[in-house]
Amino acid sequence: MQRHFDEQLQELREHLLAMGSLAETMIVKSVKALMDRSEALVQEVFTHEEEMDQRCIETDDRCFTLLALQQPMARDLRFIAAAIKINSDIERIGDLAVNIAQATMSLIRQPILKPLIDIPRIAQLCQEMVKKSLDAFVAQDPELARIVIESDDSVDLLRDQIFRELLSYMISDPTTIPRALDLILVSRYLERIADHATNIAEDVVYIVRGQDIRERGDKEIRKGLRRPAGISPEIPGVDRDAALAAHRLMPEEREFLSLIESAAHNLLDAARSLEAMFEDYTDSAEKWRKIREAEHQGDAITHNIMKKLNQTFIPFIDRQNLHALTSALDDVVDFIEAAASRMVLYKIEQPTSESREMVTLIVASAEQVAKAVSQLPRLDTVQEICVEINRLENEADDLYRRAIAGLFEGEQPILEVTKWKEIYELLEGVTDRCEDVANVVETIVLKHA
């Protein structure tokens, strides 16, 4: 029996390695497409995305089947719980490679701005970090994992160097701004790939030693991106009329901003309704109905924005970004409603302590999303808000991992395990979608900085 279980764990390792190899291939091809200005390579990256998504689903199924049937303990349990998280990190790396390919499609249709020197260097560093983090995972080597973690600062320095150089181009010649911004976004996507490789390396140390060595919070404080705990960021209140007047927006543009802000506030209302449902779990069907109303309201706002977008002069936020922001806000509410619906349809008797903690993180994320949107078109403080959304998403990831591991401690009916697995996934998905909103807002900030 143990031998069979060991073979299944080895198959899981090999499956994750295959995913990691595919992620490396996507990174290489997306950057090579940029260097060679090759649309054919871009299309190959897009094709790989479908394979990556399918592999991610298969890996999740393997992990949860092992947890359900084998009831692992100690290090084996940590391994499978971390594998679930690593699976998500690898899939995100693939998504970021797709983002690079999308930026490449825009760049190859324009004249070359400058010889690309630092971007291939940062891409090589990121690819090595991904490879070493997966090697550390397979070999269960915490020292190699430490090397990956320490490499992250080198990537950050290169990203900052790329930004400074491209900023000088934009200042000296405003016609270069669209191309420079695309290259800045490519460097940011690569830096995020390095962050996910670092996450994998940290999980290796967790598997082998049972130690949580995440340094993300300290790193953000060191860089001045986040204040220490207990010190609240001072975000001034926003005088909407004054902010809009300062930008001399057209009436149509003001209407777009009002609709986006309505979508963000509707999102926050849905999150707070979910919190009320989990805190006082009585008459859950009625509370779900209220969340469904918020979801319908969000759909109506989204449809209104899309309709006006097709009928109106291009606003100060370009159409692509406005479409992405609207869709991202709508996705958050959809996931909130989906989580609430499962609580009712699965006849859950009481929320778990972990689910209540996740909902608290959801409300905190929704509050930050509303703040970020309220700053448009005023762009100061937005970066700090987006960093906080990212921190909350990372915290939700960690809580999700602990919650999943907790499902398999003791003897719980497999049906209950299955129900809560899906609910935890949906709750964690809400914070993922909030991070998607933050990414779009940051893109808009870059274009208007």
DSSP string, 88-155: HHHHHHHHHHHHHHHHHHHHTTS---S---HHHHHHHHHHHHHHHHHHHHHHT-HHHHHHHHHHHHHH
pLDDT recorded at residue 71 = 66
pLDDT value at position 129?
93
Answer whether 213's CB lies under 8 Å from 202's CB.
yes
- Tell me the pLDDT tens digit for each residue of 160-198: 888 888 888 887 888 888 888 888 888 888 988 998 899
Q: What's the CA gap between 180 and 394, in Å, rounded?
A: 29
Mean of the per-residue pLDDT values of the chain: 81
pLDDT at 275: 95
Amino acid at 326: T
**pLDDT on residue 213:** 56
Span between the terminal Cα atoms of the chain, in Å: 60
Domain ranges of the chain: 2-222, 246-448
Evaluate whether 142 touches 136 at the Cβ level (below 8 Å). yes
Report domain 2-222's class: mainly alpha
Distance, in Å, from the CA atom of 418 to the CA atom of 54, rounded to the nearest integer, reads 20
Whether residue 170 contacts residue 177, with contact meaning beta carbons closer than 8 Å, is answered with: yes
Asked if 2-222 and 246-448 have one fold, the answer is yes
pLDDT for the residue numbered 100: 92
Pick from 68, 67, 58, 73: nearest CA to 14: 58
Is residue 3 within 8 Å of 53, Cβ to Cβ? no
The stretches in the chain having pLDDT less than 70 are: 1-3, 69-74, 210-254, 309-319, 377-380, 409-410, 446-449
Q: Which CATH superfamily is domain 246-448 in?
A: Phosphate transport system protein phou homolog 2; domain 2 (1.20.58.220)
pLDDT in tens, 369-382: 999 888 876 666 77
Tokens 């960021």, located at residue? 233
